[in-house]
Homo-oligomer: A and B are copies of this chain.
Amino acid sequence: MHETARKVVAGEVHAVSRLIRDIDDGDSEVPAILKDLYAHTGKAYVIGITGSPGVGKSTIVDQLISHLRDAGKSVGVLSVDPTSPFTGGAILGDRIRMQRHAADQGVFIRSMATRGAFGGLSRSTRSAIKVLDAMGKEFILVETVGVGQDEVDVVGCADTTIVVMPPGMGDDIQAIKAGVLEIADIFVVNKADLDGATRAVNHLKGMLDLDSAKYSDGEWKPPILMIEAVRGRGISELLAAIDQHRERGQSSGVDVAREKVKEELLDVVRTSLVGRCLDYLESRTDKSVEAILNGESDPYTESENLINEFVSST
């Protein structure tokens, strides 16, 4: 077993931190370590929390941590922030709020940002979830801003996905409603003290009712919860809803698990195949580029040639 993997399984925080940073950086040793860790994963329950900026996701995560810790559970948190692909690190911003848990040994919190590595954010996040899982965290909270395909993929890694809505939603929700209906297992309208929270709930109810045919044959219908996260109101109800969804998920059985494993496998195939090919081509593209520049060839023809060269070299 790789030394780092051993340390991660033993719960050594420094090793975990370094490994997650290496994942973010696309370090070449990472796959071997993840392979060693794999046998130690599959026990954590992953909760995705998504929603527009400013909707109160971090406060909700903060409250969930407190409640889960009070119940004696260990917690890992990944804050995924794709809005800062440039800075080489996620913006801490209101994540600082969560830092009151930093001294708690049972909580591990990290921010992730894509560095533009191949496969992007969803691959890194998926790997980081495995690491927290292997280190023994019972619950893993993945917080991400709800914009773009990358983030949809991120919440695709979660067992339960919570979509957080602001009160009094107008055009915004119109715009994403189709997607929200697809990915949400639980809706939360935060800032229940503000005008428009009830309107938001009714609006969501109306949208779900349009799909009532879908839910009549026993499919999980996302509950809609009104909470006020800054005061901790509604958090117990949220945890109860998560538990219900979890039980439902476990009864839905092996088909879901099979689908998840397949997705994960193809994700590794993609990353690994492209990584190998680009490594191989590193110093072999010059001739093709010249041919294209001179108008003697095109990227499609050259791509075929290069791929064939790579494949026959392997």
Contact = CB atoms under 8 A, between A and B. Distances in A.
Contact of A34 (B34, B91, B147, B300): B300
A206 interface: no
A179 interface: yes
A102 interface: no
Contact of A307 (B118, B145, B178, B272): B272
B285 A265 contact: yes
A274 B272 contact: no
Contacts of A31: 300
Nearest to A303: B268
B281 A274 contact: no
A228 to B, nearest CB: 24
Contacts of A183: 86
A150 B148 contact: yes
Interface of A: 31-32, 34-35, 38-39, 82-88, 91, 93, 114, 116, 118, 120-121, 145, 147-150, 152-153, 171, 175-176, 178-180, 182-183, 254, 257-258, 261-262, 264-270, 272-274, 276-278, 281, 285, 288-289, 292-293, 295, 298-304, 306-308, 310-312, 314
Given A261-B299, A265-B292, A269-B303, 4 more contacts: A114-B148, A262-B285, A267-B299, A269-B277
B82 A148 contact: yes
Nearest to A175: B91
Given A83-B176, A91-B175, A299 B268 contact: yes
Contacts of A273: 273-274, 277, 307, 310
A17 to B, nearest CB: 22
Contacts of A310: 273
Which interface residue of A93, A145, A272 has the most chain B CB atoms within 10 A? A272
B269 A281 contact: yes
B261 A293 contact: yes
Contacts of A148: 82-83, 85, 114, 147-148, 150
A132 to B, nearest CB: 17
Contacts of A308: 314
A298 B152 contact: no
Contact of A272 (B116, B258, B303): B303
A185 to B, nearest CB: 15
27 contacts: A31-B300, A35-B301, A39-B298, A83-B176, A85-B148, A85-B149, A85-B179, A86-B178, A86-B183, A87-B178, A120-B149, A145-B147, A148-B150, A150-B150, A257-B293, A258-B289, A261-B299, A262-B285, A265-B288, A268-B299, A268-B303, A270-B274, A270-B277, A272-B300, A273-B307, A308-B314, A311-B311
A178 B254 CA distance: 46
Which interface residue of A91, A274, A302 has the most chain B CB atoms within 10 A? A274
A83 B303 contact: no
Nearest to A265: B299
